[in-house]
Structure 1
C-alpha cells in the first residue's frame, strides 16, 4: 500500500503482512451558530447520528462503552471509502515503521477484506504463511475454531496475531479445490529478506525482490554487482523477479527502478491537493547498460512492484513477462491524530511515466506466461484476485485525459504468449494433490519446476517459443527482440 507521511515529503508503500486491518478516525467541528450551508457540515445527519448513538446507549440489550461505539462509527465511515483507507491505533501506527524496516510479528501475508471474509493478496517469502503453502486469492473462512464471517478485518487480524512460537490453524477456500484446506502454522517474528540473487546459467543473473524495504535499492545494487563479478565482469541477461511481491516502501521501489534507468520519470502522483502531486525522476547513472532484462510479474505483484514494472516498461528498458498484476495504484497519506493514532487516507493515484494509471488495471505484460497450474485450468486463472475485484475499489476519474474509467476487472490479452506443451501440464492426479511446500529459502531457483522463470531465461537466451493470443506460432516483434539482444553499453 502506498503511504505518504506529509511532513516528511516521502511516499511509502507498506506490505502489511497480517499486521494491519482497517479502521478510521473522525473529527467533527460544528459551529452551532452557523447553518450547514455556511459550514459545509451536514448538521442534520450529525443530529441523526447523535440520536442513534443515544438510543444505543440507553436501549441496547447490554451496556456499550462510548469508545467502542465511536470506533465502530469511525470504522464504518472509512471502510466505505475504499479498501486501503483505514484507522491506525497508536500501536498499529508504530508497527508501520517496524514493517517497513523488514521485521515484524505475524504470519507474513498481505490480506484484505472482501464481502465479510478475509482474502490473501500475497504471502511473503520465507514466512510461516509462505512455508505452509498459502496462495494469493485464498479466502480465509476460519481462524482456529472461530468463523471469520461476521468479524471485522481488524478482529480477524487480531486473532491471527500472537506470540512467536504459538500455533494457529487457518481454514481457507481455494479456487479449484472442492473442499476447504486447513493450514497449521506456528507464528514467528517475521524478518523479511528483501533481496535474493543467484546465477541461473553462466552469464545470466537472477534477482528476486520479495518486498520493498528502506534498504532494498542498496541491496539490489550489491546483488547485481556481485553477479557481474561472479560472471567474469559481464552479464548476458538478468531476470528481475517481482512475483508475489505485495509492495513495500515506495522510495525503495524508486531506487530499484533508478538502478536500471538513466533519464526521465519513474513515477508521479496526482491528487486533489497540491501536496499530493509529486514526481520521481531517474538519475544519470545506471547499472547493466545494454544488458537485456526480463521482469517477472503476476497477480500477486502489487503497488511498488507495479511502479518498477511500469517504469521499466514505459522506458522500454525491460521486457515484462508473466501475468497481469494486481492493480494497486493509489497512494495513502498517514495523518497523525491527537490521540497518538493516525488516519491512513487515500489521497492520490500514481502514474507510470507515460501517464498510465495502474489503479484497478495493473500492468499487462509484454509476454504472457502462465504458471503450469494456470495453463491447466484457465478458468480458475481468470478469477484470480485483483484490485478491481475488491468491493468499493477506487475508480479512476473519467474526466482525466491520462486515464480510462475502470469499473470492473480488465482481462486484457497480451499480443505475445508463451504456453507450456501438453506434456508439461500437471496430470489430473497431480492437480488433485495438496500443494507442495515451497523450497527452503536458501535454495537455488528451480528451473525445472518454475515454468515462468525457465521461459524468462529462454527469452534472454533467444530460445523461447512464442504464440499469439489465438494460440498460433508467432515471432517476437522487432521492438521486443531488440530489448532481448545484448547491446553495447550506452546504446
Structure 2
C-alpha cells in the first residue's frame, strides 16, 4: 500500500501550489460581486477536488516507487503541468525557461531554426505557414504540409512544445522532416538551421503608381514598419499618391495582437478594429481606429490564404467589415483565439488561451476563418513563346501619326522580370486595382 502520510502531505503541497498559481494569474474584480456571482466563483475556483488530488498523489507515488527507471520529483511535476495545458487547446502551453525565451525572441525579431509556424490539424502537426526568406521557404515547404516525422522520430506522441524544441537548434545544424502533402506519398526534406532575422515588412512598386506591401508576421515593431513602408512607397512614386496597393497577408501566421491593431489603423480613419471576450474582466478589450490615415484612402486589395492566421485575420476582418479593401485569395486559417503569456517564477510562463476575438461586425473567426470577397486559387500560368512581330511603325516609308504623335515601333528589349509575372494571385490583385482606378477616373 502507498504511504498514506506521504500522500496526504503531497496533496496539501499541491493544494498550496494550485492556490499560489491562481493568485498570480487572476486579476482583482473591477467591482464587488453579487452574492450569486460570489457563490458561482467559489464553486468554480474556491473548492479544490480533493478526491482527484489524492488520486494524483497516489499516481505520483506509484511512478516514484515502481517505474522501471528513477524519475525525480521536478520532472514528474513539470510533466503534470504540461499535461494539464496540452489537453486544453492546441495553443495553450507551459513554457520552460528556454521556451519562454524563444517566444520572446520570435516576437522581437530573431531566432534560430528552420522558419515555420506549426499548428495542429486533426491531431497531426501541420505547417501553418513558412516564414519568408528562411530554410523552410527555400526548400519549398508549403502551408498545409503535415509533419509526420522529425529526424526519423514519429510526431504522433509529441506535444507542441516537443515539436518546436526539435525544430529549433543551433545555427548550422541539420534537421530532417518527413512530410505529407495532400494525397501524395510522404517525402523527406533535410534542412540546415539558420538565424531567422524576421523582417516582418517589405515593400516595392509593382508597376507605375501601384504598390505592394508584404507582412510576413506581426512583431512588436510591425505597425511602425508599415507606416515607414507606406511613406517610402509614396517617395518612390515621385512623391505622388499611389493609384492602389496590394497588402499581402498570405502565409502570415499572426503574432502580436497590438501590431495587428496598429496596421489596421494605418488604413482606417474611424470605427472599431477588433474586440475580445473572455471569462476574466481584463480579457475583454476593444480597439478603435484614430482619424489619421497613413494610406491616404488609396484603393486596396488584401491577399489571404489558408496560411493567414490569428493577427493576420484580425487585419483582414477589420478591413473587410469596414469595406476598406477587397479581400482576394482563399479562405484563411481560422485561429480566432487570444493567448496571454502569464509569467511564473524561475523564468517560466504559461501561454494560456484567455479570450476569443471578434471583427467589428461581431464575427468570430475561430475554426471558421475569413472568406475572401473574390476567390482566386493559386495557379501557374505558362506564357506563350514570344514570336517576332512587326507593327506599322516598323515598315519603311510608313506615314506619320495624324496628330503629330511619336512612332511606336515593336519593342525588341527583353522585359525585366516582375513579382506579378510568376504569382497568379498577385497578378489578379494588380489587374483588379487597375480596373478600379480606370472606372473611378471616368467622367
Which category describes the TM-score, using the shorter chain as reference length?
Answer: 0.7 to 0.9
For 1:302-317, what aligned pairs fall within 5 Å after superposition? 302-317=309-324
Q: Match of 2:207?
A: 201
- Asked whether 1:191 is paired with 2:211, we answer no
Between Structure 1 and Structure 2, the one with more helix by share is 2
Change in CA separation of 1:361 and 1:36 when aligned onto 2, cut-off 3 Å: closer
Q: CA deviation at 1:354?
A: 1.0
Q: Match of 1:354?
A: 361
TM-score normalised to the size of structure 1?
0.71
Q: Match of 2:4?
A: none
Task: Tell me the secondary structure at the aligned position of residue 100 of structure 1.
Answer: helix
For 1:31-70, what aligned pairs fall within 5 Å after superposition? 39-70=46-77
- Asked whether 1:460 is paired with 2:433, we answer yes
Q: CA deviation at 1:182?
A: 1.5
Q: Match of 1:367?
A: 374
Q: Match of 1:450?
A: 423
The counterpart of 2:18, out of the listed 28, 44, 55, is 28
Q: CA deviation at 1:207?
A: 0.5
For 1:260-279, what aligned pairs fall within 5 Å after superposition? 260-279=267-286
**Contact 2:130–2:136, Cα closer than 8 Å, also in 1:** yes
CA distance in 1, matches of 2:83, 2:232: 50
Mean Cα deviation higher: 67-76 or 302-311: 67-76
Task: Tell me the secondary structure at the aligned position of residue 74 of structure 1.
Answer: helix
For 1:196-235, what aligned pairs fall within 5 Å after superposition? 196-232=202-238, 233-235=240-242
CA distance in 1, matches of 2:441, 2:53: 66
CA distance in 1, matches of 2:356, 2:283: 9
The superposition leaves residues 250-273 of structure 1 with CA deviations (integer Å, 9 ceiling, x where unpaired) of 221111111110101111111111
Change in CA separation of 1:445 and 1:363 when aligned onto 2, cut-off 3 Å: farther
CA distance in 2, matches of 1:149, 1:208: 34
Q: Match of 2:397?
A: none
* Length, aligned pairs only: 373
CA distance in 1, matches of 2:375, 2:364: 20
Change in CA separation of 1:444 and 1:199 when aligned onto 2, cut-off 3 Å: farther
The superposition leaves residues 344-386 of structure 1 with CA deviations (integer Å, 9 ceiling, x where unpaired) of 111111111111111111111111110127xxxxxxxxxxxxx
The counterpart of 2:259, out of the listed 218, 240, 252, is 252
The superposition leaves residues 376-412 of structure 1 with CA deviations (integer Å, 9 ceiling, x where unpaired) of xxxxxxxxxxxxxxxxxxxxxxxxxxxxxxxxxxxxx
- Asked whether 1:122 is paired with 2:112, we answer no
Task: Tell me the secondary structure at the aligned position of residue 372 of structure 1.
Answer: coil
Task: Tell me the secondary structure at the aligned position of residue 18 of structure 2.
Answer: coil
Q: Match of 1:435?
A: none
CA distance in 1, matches of 2:120, 2:326: 33
Q: CA deviation at 1:62?
A: 2.0
Q: CA deviation at 1:77?
A: 1.4
Q: Match of 1:413?
A: none
Change in CA separation of 1:338 and 1:360 when aligned onto 2, cut-off 3 Å: same
Task: Tell me the secondary structure at the aligned position of residue 289 of structure 1.
Answer: coil
CA distance in 2, matches of 1:99, 1:136: 19
Task: Tell me the secondary structure at the aligned position of residue 432 of structure 2.
Answer: helix
- Asked whether 1:146 is paired with 2:153, we answer yes
**Contact 2:267–2:297, Cα closer than 8 Å, also in 1:** no
Q: Match of 1:23?
A: none
The counterpart of 1:242, out of the listed 249, 264, 270, is 249
The superposition leaves residues 406-440 of structure 1 with CA deviations (integer Å, 9 ceiling, x where unpaired) of xxxxxxxxxxxxxx8xx78xxxxxxxxxxxxxxxx
For 1:378-397, what aligned pairs fall within 5 Å after superposition? none
Q: CA deviation at 1:484?
A: 8.9
Q: CA deviation at 1:148?
A: 2.5
TM-score normalised to the size of structure 2?
0.79
CA distance in 2, matches of 1:39, 1:216: 42
CA distance in 2, matches of 1:452, 1:102: 28
Q: Match of 1:82?
A: 89
**Contact 1:293–1:484, Cα closer than 8 Å, also in 2:** no
CA distance in 1, matches of 2:104, 2:201: 19
Q: CA deviation at 1:106?
A: 1.1
For 1:336-347, what aligned pairs fall within 5 Å after superposition? 336-347=343-354
Q: CA deviation at 1:140?
A: 1.4
Q: Match of 2:291?
A: 284
**Contact 2:253–2:308, Cα closer than 8 Å, also in 1:** yes
Task: Tell me the secondary structure at the aligned position of residue 260 of structure 1.
Answer: coil
Q: CA deviation at 1:145?
A: 3.1
Structure 1 runs of 4+ with >6 Å offset: 35-38
How large is the Cα RMSD of the aligned pairs? Answer: 2.5
Q: CA deviation at 1:277?
A: 0.9
CA distance in 2, matches of 1:487, 1:217: 31
Task: Tell me the secondary structure at the aligned position of residue 460 of structure 1.
Answer: helix
Q: CA deviation at 1:27?
A: 3.9
Mean Cα deviation higher: 143-152 or 189-198: 143-152
Change in CA separation of 1:66 and 1:445 when aligned onto 2, cut-off 3 Å: farther
